Amino acid sequence: MKLSKTRIDRSGLALAKQQYKDEIDFIELEECFDLYRQSHLSPLSKTTIDIQNILREYIGEYYIAQRLKRKPQIIRKLNRLSVRLTQLQDIGGCRIIVPTNKDVDKIYKFLSSKKDNLDFLIKKVTDYREKGRDDSGYRALHIIIERDKLNFELQIRSRIQHYWAESIEKTSVVYGYYLKEQEGDRDVINYFKELSDVFYEIESGRKPTTIQKLNLEDLRKKCEVIIQKSDTHKILNSYVNEGIISALVEKEKRNTNSLNNWILIFDWNAGVFVSWDVVAQDPKQAVEAYVNYENQYPSLEGFEVVLIGSSDIASVQKTHSHYFGIASYENILETLDESIFCFAKKDDIDIGARRILAAMVRHKFWGTKTVTSETLKNHFCQNLFGFDYSLRDLIRKELIKYGRDKDLSLNIAKKMEIESYL
């Protein structure tokens, strides 16, 4: 099928505005839409690989992954912005997460210094970090890249900026409204805007005032009630463990010069992964699988299907962390102190490890009072996927110690640290 600009834009109108002649016309236009999205994958992957190769010389911590925009997201954006499909610049996107806001500047400066050796063009740079984008409070550095006559979006975020973005994503699912797109109660949208402003102050080295903290807490409590009373409010009680990734790392071919395409299927009704499959590196086959999964698991039924490209699947827990931080909670929205603690500590141990610690603290397995790993796994931490991975991590960090006969107990010497995680 020939992909003319006119036909591509018609396919966007067919899916977003329901503008088509008949059913056959719609089917053909939907195929055109899928092919156009597919055309982005190969140049996007080449760009991500190029960036990774350049960053081998970079001194500093970072995580990188790419994604092909989901069909429901594209449709919502076409409706929200009233733009043509060919005008969208983020159908393919790459995300880099760095520790601090200063590191955002540092890594961008490093990439810019290599621009003469790049096989892609940096067209536009938009800095949303100081004021935030629109009314949402979103902060990041956005770079529009052109390759093979297609545009792509490179996002560079600090850990705090990323934490905020992932928090609003998770809350949007629980609440049932796309908060970043200005859906939902104005107070909830304003809460995240104010939270972002406070985060910016903290990241700039300034402490939030007592009044700021009190006002934010009052708004948080108000928003809790709003979300809980919402007709679309979902209650998630599942534990999602990064051990899922650990199990799949063994399947991944470690090739630093290429990307593996992964399709992630997440059920937001239950807070669990339905599937996480490695698919073909060939763009055509990968996108065909993507489309099939999207049809099989529709977004209207609470499923999220994402095509992610990464040379190291373990990095996805950093770049798409909102899938890995769902736990049973009393509050939907974290207090400011909880948030500050979380983005400082979140990378230290996973949600499964915290569940293990909580179980052992609850049953007072300290010092000489021990428990076998089998009892801990099969009785106190039932249905915890990735238990072995999380336990090994806790032992490596010396938060849990082996006693006699290889029984386990909490390390009394690290009591304060253990309690801080809980």
Q: What is the pLDDT of residues 269-283, one digit of tens each?
A: 776 777 777 777 788
What rounded mean pLDDT belongs to the chain? 84
CB 287 within 8 A of CB 307: yes
Residue partners of 179: CB distance under 8 A and separation at least 6: 136, 168, 171, 172, 188, 189, 192
- Domain membership of residue 299 (yes or no) is yes
Does residue 45 form part of some domain? no
Are β-strands 272-279 and 260-267 bridged in parallel, bridged antiparallel, or unpaired? Answer: antiparallel
Burial of 178 (0-12, 13-18, 19+ CB in 10 A): middle
Kindly state the tokens that stand for 365: 């397995």
Instruction: List, as own/partner pairs, every contact residues 186-191 make where C-beta atoms lie below 8 angstroms and the sequence separation is at least 24, other chains included.
Output: 187/219, 187/222, 187/223, 187/226, 188/223, 188/226, 188/227, 189/135, 189/136, 190/219, 191/216, 191/219, 191/220, 191/223, 191/333
Q: Is residue 59 domain-resident? A: no
The pLDDT confidence band at residue 367, using thresholds 50, 70 and 90, is confident
Q: Is residue 277 part of a domain?
A: yes
Is residue 393 within 8 Å of 350, Cβ to Cβ? yes
Residue 160 phi/psi, 5-degree rounding, is -70, -45
Give the whole-angstrom CA distance, residue 223 versus residue 346.
Answer: 24
| Most confident segment among 186-195, 312-321, 331-340 | 186-195
**Residue 243: its pLDDT value, please?**
57
Sheet of 303-310, strands arranged across:
121-127, 141-147, 150-158, 92-98, 63-68, 303-310, 260-267, 272-279
Closest CA to 406 of 365, 366, 371: 371
Structural domain that includes position 365: 348-421
Instruction: Give burial (CB, 10 Å; 0-12/13-18/19+) of 99.
Output: middle
Rounded to 5 degrees, φ, ψ at 168 are -70, -30
CATH code for position 364: 1.10.10.10
From 267, 300, 318, give the residue that closes a domain.
318
Contact of 321 with 342, CB cutoff 8 Å? no
Q: Which residues of 283-302 are buried (b: 16+ CB within 10 A; e: fewer)?
A: beebbebbbebbeebebeee
Rounded average pLDDT over 210-238? 81
Whether residue 156 has pLDDT greater than 80: yes
User: How far is 77 from 83, CA to CA, in rounded Å?
Assistant: 8
Percent of the chain's residues with pLDDT above 90: 37
In a domain, 289, yes or no: yes
Q: State the DSSP code for 89.
A: S
377 neighbors 384 (Cβ within 8 angstroms): yes
Total domains, the chain: 3
352 and 314 share one domain? no
Domain match, 313 and 247 both: yes
Q: pTM of the full predicted structure?
A: 0.76
Is there a domain that residue 197 lies in?
A: no
Q: Same structural domain for residues 251 and 301?
A: yes
Q: Of 79-93, 291-305, 311-325, 373-387, which gets the smallest average pLDDT?
A: 311-325
| Residue 101, in any domain of the structure | no
**Identity of the highest mean pLDDT range in 7-21, 229-243, 294-308:** 7-21
180, part of any domain: no
Maximum CA extent, the chain: 76
Q: Is the pLDDT of residue 47 over 70?
A: yes
